[in-house]
Amino acid sequence: MSAPKTLYDKIWDAHVVSEDEDGTSLLYIDRHLVHEVTSPQAFEGLRIAGRKVRAPEKTIAVPDHNVPTTLDRAKGIENEESRIQVDALDKNAKDFGVNYYPVSDVRQGIVHIVGPEQGWTLPGMTVVCGDSHTATHGAFGALAHGIGTSEVEHVLATQTLIQSKSKNMKVEITGKLRPGVTAKDITLSVIGATGTAGGTGHVIEYCGEAIRDLSMEGRMTVCNMAIEGGARAGLIAPDEKTFEYVKGRAHAPKGAQWEAALHWWKQLYTDEGAHFDKVVTIKAEEIEPVVTWGTSPEDVLPISGSVPAPEDFKGGKVEAAKRALDYMGLEAGTKLTDIKIDVVFIGSCTNGRIEDLRAAAEVVKGRKLADGVRAMVVPGSGLVRAQAEEEGLDKIFLDAGFEWRMAGCSMCLAMNPDQLAEGERCASTSNRNFEGRQGYKGRTHLMSPAMAAAAAVTGHLTDVRKLMELEDA
Amino acid sequence: MEKFEKVTGIAAPMPLVNIDTDMIIPKGFLKTIKRTGLGVHAFDEMRYDRQGNENPDFVLNKPQYREAQILVVGDNFGCGSSREHAPWALADFGIKVIVSTSFADIFYNNSFKNGMLPIVLPQEQVDMLMKDAEKGSNARMTVDLENQEITTSEGETIKFDVDAFKKHCLLEGLDDIGLTLEKAAAIDTFETQMHQARPWV
């Protein structure tokens, strides 16, 4: 009998084309997702070398980072550089014959939301994209990770990637989440516990009752931020929820192929006794709604906490914390719930799916945006937007004073006009609170959609459980 | 890609931990469709004020570090996005070697693809090199990839590890795609087999 394998081992083994003596492997890539920011130089490289895209049918392109999210975006992109980049993707998709969802297509959206939505992402696949949040697709039990533009060109030309195998890391969330605590709180709490380099060199498998209990949307939120914990990828073993989500989607297998696929997918789990190089266990009951206070995703605290002081840290983190407090304009000891906000952003590949919009709408319903607060909801795809409108969520947001936008990456990284002004403070459902991320000198606090909605209606960081009138808040 | 030669040059100290890719190259500069010309924007928001004036306190603006070819940096350098614009900007600035206790995976890989050598060393050795770098332009370090050795300005040597395949590619200036295309037959075979085993892919 062969040695017990992890889920990562199994997917890896099923994709090795060749392996050198030193372990460097050529890994076959099943799906290559492409967006406009990290691909132009790669297509240009192909042209210069006279190369074709080896598997255009496995290549899926969609513009998302630069696209305007205003309702009048059909009139075109004002910023010249952004327009050139999106036009370049239009042309490259056409010239090289890859699958393409242009801005005018209702299926357009953030690449990591479109992939699963259209059934391109399936269990057991290898999925890459020139984007670090490719980790999202790991929620399906697919080995998915970000690559640089040189590697994008390599995959376009060869449908393979030169890789060394990462180590195995297990993150187990035992027990059940308490009310008001969500997938975003899990993933931020894990990073808070392990640090942003805690997963470096590893592929994380998330498991445990609390992970099993999550919907596919929640699992995507958890895996999305594996990269923020430094991991190469995050994975969750597929189960009935996964199969149910995939079934019937445009590019999912049908008929006899569905049965054959299902048979293989059901073997995609970590064998009893398989070796993990690192194990982290967190009790779900101990996870609270959290927010970030600083400029690294590891700067996580329960909403009940206070802003820390630099001397609470050790080593290089002391200087980093000093710098973060200065950048964020915060005093040590301030209660997190006393921090006032100017802007609320609900969207991104972390939290731009239908369930996220439902969670935010539930908090917003019957309430109004706090005075002086600007808030925008940016659905992750045109189809998420349509679904939300069918459920009347748009009306809830609009009635409360929120802006209801078209799909795109938007203020998650502010490459389009959706940006923070200098010094503005944002409650954001995105994934990075880096300096300047949402706009020059903008200040970002990361949190769940429900928590961002709570901040929107109160005007300050808020424990959403107080608004939900939960007894244990 | 150019072959990686032995580097003897000025090392600049950047002890801050978690220097992310947004710091190395802010998103405003990701709108380019070229690989070149980003060096002037490396560390843009730390290096310049809003009017484009240099911040005199930023290390690479100090006279003794303007020609730096080596960076000695804090833990978890290059964390964040997959943007290859980050190594493009550093390489275009003239950086050849980056030394830290750890790098984010994607940044680490991207560096090799652009003829730059990221070196991982234990904390004590990075601390020692950081001190050496703090001496300024009179202190020149040598990084010898062939022998996997750093020599400080004091003549002390430190050995480092590097993946054999990556080392070979850097020393020879090899293009990955060309190498992989030599294995086209193996890729064809794999595809045929996979089409049998997993026809839905």
Nearest to A291 by CA among A308, A305, A276, A274: A305
Residue ending a domain, choose from A253, A278, A303: A278
Residue A162 with chain B: CB contacts under 8 Å: 165, 176, 179-180
| Mean pLDDT of the region A454-469 | 95
pLDDT tens, position by position, B18-28 = 999 999 999 99
Residue ending a domain, choose from A249, A278, A307: A278
Q: Indicate which of B1, B22, B33 best probes the interface with A, i.e. most A CBs within 10 Å of its own CB.
A: B33
CA distance A114 to A442: 28
- Distance (Å) from the alpha carbon of B23 to chain A's nearest alpha carbon: 7
Domain CATH code at residue B89: 3.20.19.10
| Mean pLDDT of the region B91-100 | 98
| Mean pLDDT of the region B104-114 | 96
The answer as to whether B151 is a domain residue is yes
Q: Do A18 and B76 touch (CB under 8 A)?
A: no
Q: Is the pLDDT confidence value at A97 over 90?
A: yes
The answer as to whether B125 is a domain residue is yes
- Are A214 and A234 in contact, with CB atoms under 8 Å apart? no
Q: Which of A26, A85, A130 sits opposite B180 (nearest CB)?
A: A26
Residue B79 with chain A: CB contacts under 8 Å: 196-197, 230
Neighbour count for residue A179 (Cβ, 10 Å): 12
Q: Is the pLDDT confidence value at B12 over 50?
A: yes
Question: Number of residue pairs across A and B with CB atoms under 8 Å?
Answer: 186
Give the whole-number percent of chain A exceeding pLDDT 90: 98
The answer as to whether A283 is a domain residue is no
Give the pLDDT band (50/70/90) at residue B139. Answer: confident
Please indicate whether residue B139 or residue A172 has the higher confidence score (pLDDT).
Answer: A172
3-state DSSP of chain A: CCCCCCHHHHHHHCCEEEECCCCCEEEECCEEEECCCCCHHHHHHHHHHCCCCCCHHHEEECCCCCCCCCCCHHHCCCCHHHHHHHHHHHHHHHHHCCEECCCCCCCCECHHHHHHHCCCCCCCCEEEECCHHHHHHHHHCCEEEECCHHHHHHHHHHCEEEECCCEEEEEEEECCCCCCCCHHHHHHHHHHHHCCCCCCCEEEEEECHHHHCCCHHHHHHHHHCCHHHCCCEEECCCCHHHHHHHCCCCCCCCHHHHHHHHHHHCCCCCCCCCCCCEEEEEEHHHCCCEEECCCCCCCEEECCCECCCHHHCCCHHHHHHHHHHHHHCCCCCCEHHHCECCEEEECHHHHCCHHHHHHHHHHHCCCCCCCCCEEEECCCEHHHHHHHHHCCHHHHHHHHCCEECCCCCHHHCCCCCCCCCCCCEEEECCCCCCCCCCCCCCEEEECCHHHHHHHHHHCECCCHHHHCCCCCC
Helix axes A40-49, A149-158, angle to 10 degrees: 50
Neighbour count for residue A73 (Cβ, 10 Å): 18
Please indicate whether residue A9 or residue A473 has the higher confidence score (pLDDT).
Answer: A9
Both A319 and A405 in one domain: the answer is: yes
Q: What pLDDT score was predicted for residue A1?
A: 63
- The number of domains in chain A is 2
The answer as to whether A472 is a domain residue is no
- Distance (Å) from the alpha carbon of B177 to chain A's nearest alpha carbon: 6
Compute CA distances A283 → A176, A177, A207, A211, A288, whole Å.
8, 9, 12, 11, 11
Give the pLDDT band (50/70/90) at residue A472. Answer: very low
The answer as to whether B182 is a domain residue is no
| Mean pLDDT of the region A18-35 | 95
Q: What pLDDT score was predicted for residue B138?
A: 80
Residue A320 with chain B: CB contacts under 8 Å: 16-18, 74
Both A236 and A324 in one domain: the answer is: no
Both A323 and A217 in one domain: the answer is: no
Both A209 and A315 in one domain: the answer is: no
Calculate the average pLDDT of chain B: 96
Show the domain range for A241: 7-278
Q: Do B22 and A435 touch (CB under 8 A)?
A: yes
Tell me the two tokens of residue A158: 């060869």
Q: Indicate which of A85, A163, A196 best probes the interface with B, i.e. most B CBs within 10 Å of its own CB.
A: A196
Collect all residues with Cβ–Cβ distance below 8 Å to B115 and sequence separation of at least 6: B1, B2, B4, B91, B96, B170, B173
Inform me whether the C-beta atom of residue A267 falls under 8 Å from chain B C-beta atoms.
no
CA distance A112 to A220: 9
Q: What pLDDT score was predicted for residue A2?
A: 83
Q: Is the pLDDT confidence value at A406 over 50?
A: yes
Inform me whether the C-beta atom of residue A70 falls under 8 Å from chain B C-beta atoms.
no
CA distance A421 to A254: 49
Residue ending a domain, choose from A246, A278, A310: A278
Domain CATH code at residue A421: 3.30.499.10
| Mean pLDDT of the region A344-350 | 98
What number is the ipTM of this complex?
0.93
Q: Do A132 and B106 touch (CB under 8 A)?
A: yes
Q: What pLDDT score was predicted for residue A473?
A: 44
- Determine if residue A409 is labeled as part of a ligand binding site: yes
The answer as to whether A154 is a domain residue is yes
The answer as to whether A265 is a domain residue is yes
The answer as to whether A104 is a domain residue is yes
Give the pLDDT band (50/70/90) at residue A272. Answer: very high
- Determine if residue A426 is labeled as part of a ligand binding site: no
Helix axes B105-112, B164-172, angle to 10 degrees: 40
Both A263 and A298 in one domain: the answer is: no
Helix axes B105-112, B85-93, angle to 10 degrees: 50
Calculate the average pLDDT of chain A: 97
Q: What pLDDT score was predicted for residue B182?
A: 94
Q: Is the pLDDT confidence value at B195 over 80?
A: yes
Q: Do A316 and B200 touch (CB under 8 A)?
A: no
Both A52 and A178 in one domain: the answer is: yes
Give the pLDDT band (50/70/90) at residue B137. Answer: confident
The answer as to whether B49 is a domain residue is yes
Compute CA distances A307 → A288, A299, A302, A334, whole Å.
16, 10, 10, 5
User: CA nearest A146 in B: which residue?
Assistant: B82
Q: Do A323 and B16 touch (CB under 8 A)?
A: yes
Both A136 and A273 in one domain: the answer is: yes
- The number of domains in chain B is 1
Show the domain range for B87: 7-174
Both A241 and A297 in one domain: the answer is: no
The answer as to whether B48 is a domain residue is yes
The overall longest dimension of chain A from CA atoms, in Å, is 66
- Distance (Å) from the alpha carbon of A200 to chain B's nearest alpha carbon: 6
The answer as to whether A285 is a domain residue is no
The answer as to whether B186 is a domain residue is no
Residue B50 with chain A: CB contacts under 8 Å: 440
Both A313 and A215 in one domain: the answer is: no
Q: What pLDDT score was predicted for residue A471?
A: 40
Residue B106 with chain A: CB contacts under 8 Å: 132, 145-148
Both A32 and A98 in one domain: the answer is: yes
The answer as to whether A115 is a domain residue is yes
A129: β partners: A33, A146
pLDDT tens, position by position, A284-316 = 999 999 999 999 999 999 999 999 999 999 999
Both A302 and A269 in one domain: the answer is: no
The answer as to whether B130 is a domain residue is yes
pLDDT tens, position by position, A154-184 = 999 999 999 999 999 999 999 999 999 999 9
Nearest to A108 by CA among A346, A417, A352: A352
The answer as to whether B194 is a domain residue is no
Q: Indicate which of B177, B179, B181 best probes the interface with A, i.e. most A CBs within 10 Å of its own CB.
A: B177
- Distance (Å) from the alpha carbon of A310 to chain B's nearest alpha carbon: 14
User: CA nearest A40 in B: which residue?
Assistant: B33
Q: Do A440 and B35 touch (CB under 8 A)?
A: no
Both A171 and A263 in one domain: the answer is: yes
The answer as to whether A284 is a domain residue is no
Q: Do B34 and A434 touch (CB under 8 A)?
A: no
Q: Which of A17, A79, A434 sits opposite B20 (nearest CB)?
A: A434
Give the whole-number percent of chain B exceeding pLDDT 90: 96
pLDDT tens, position by position, A211-231 = 999 999 999 999 999 999 999
- Determine if residue A223 is labeled as part of a ligand binding site: no
Which residue type is seen at A147? I
Distance of CA A178 to the CA centre of its chain: 23
